[in-house]
Amino acid sequence: MAMSNTNTQASKRPSPQTAWSGGVAFTFLIALLGYLLAMVPGFDHVGQLACAIIIAIFYRQIFGYPEAIRTGIAFSSKRLLRAAIILYGLKLNIDTVLSDGLGLLLRDAGVIVFAIFITVWLAKAFKADKTISLLLGVGTGVCGAAAIAAVAPIIKSKDEDTAIGVGIIALMGTVFAIGYTILRPFLPLDAIQYGIWSGTSLHEVAHVALAGAPAGEDGLAIALLAKLGRVFLLVPLCFVFIYIMKRKNKGNEETNAKIEFPWFLVGFIVLSLLGSYVFGHSIPVSEDVMNGVFTLTTWLLTAAMVGLGLNVSLKDLRTRAMRPLAAMTITSIALSIIVYFIV
């Protein structure tokens, strides 16, 4: 009988191909619902991206995470996001940002240092969990969940702590990004200034894309450039943490964690160069084709943020995470205010 039950359960599990395709299709389905919701008066000011991620978060809280199609959802939230960011490189006019690039990178470095040290300092004051707080400081300063995932094995974070950190970053980053889109019409910032503010202060790449969209193509492009500078700095930051951990654990080879280079950053820069100096110049490309690519990019981003929203579990915030959440929230608010005044 036990063998029969096991076989029955196994037969109900979807094949890897079905789980993958079902998960990707599911994120696009919610993306479509977000597109439709954004057509409703009132929600049209929020936009397709924000509407989709809100639906995804509510779905997770009501129905739980759809474990059977996890692989497809993870593919959307990671791979499709990277593909969308690479395609967004076509929107970046290099001439517009060449004069600001180095300044943005230096500003990004300051943001990372500020976010990590202030979050850790507040965590000590609040007597919050040290590991979760450090992960949140890194996620706030660099690039959200991706930074947390990169640093977690280096500092020997437990899976539970890593998951809580990712959940908090996804939740608070979404709240801040939606808040930025609401504040956008009332701020005395032009598109480029707003883009720099968003890209320098928000958490995830997806959150920057969400907040930067109302600023138009140039504003969004400069926002992504500012954000990707922080993503690029993740690599040297990881080496810093490896050095620190090696000093604390001399002779322990496990501290030499593998670091994944953000290759999609290279793709973004390559397409930026092609879009600025090749397409439309040496190689003629019709406006319809470019508009089609931009539409595809928007849908890929929307599906990616659906995957992000499905990872937000409000229940995980009720126990050990409240004090680290408070420290990270204060840091994020302070960061937004400081960057706003130095833009």
Domain boundary assignment for the chain: 74-342
Phi, psi of 279 (to 5 degrees): -65, 125
Q: Dihedral of CA 267/214/95/296: which sign?
A: positive
Burial label for 338, CB within 10 Å (0-12, 13-18, 19+), is middle
Q: How confident is the model at residue 232 (pLDDT cuts 50, 70, 90)?
A: confident
As a whole number of angstroms, the distance between CA 325 and CA 339 comes to 21
Q: Is the dihedral of CA 117, 99, 83, 184 positive or negative?
A: positive
Q: How far does CA 154 lie from the centroid of its chain?
A: 20
Under the banding of pLDDT at 50, 70 and 90, the label for residue 10 is: very low
Residue spans of alpha helices (H) in 213-262: 216-232, 234-248
| Cβ-based neighbour number of residue 144 at 10 Å | 30
Query: 8: pLDDT confidence band, cut at 50, 70 and 90?
Result: very low
Closest of 7, 15, 11, 149 to residue 69, by C-alpha: 15
CB 216 within 8 A of CB 191: yes
d(CA 226, CA 97): 10
Is 324 within 8 Å of 123 (Cβ atoms)? yes
What is the model's pTM? 0.69
C-alpha 92: how far from its chain's center?
A: 19
pLDDT tens-place string over residues 13-41: 678 888 899 999 999 999 999 999 988 88
pLDDT category of residue 121 using cuts at 50, 70 and 90:
very high
Q: Are 59 and 30 in contact (CB under 8 A)?
A: yes
pLDDT tens digits for range 58-107 = 898 899 889 999 999 989 888 888 888 888 778 766 665 556 666 777 88
Per DSSP (E only), the strands in the chain are none
User: What is the rounded distance in angstroms from the CA atom of residue 82 to the CA atom of residue 117?
Assistant: 29
Determine how many CB atoms are found less than 10 A away from the CB of residue 230.
29
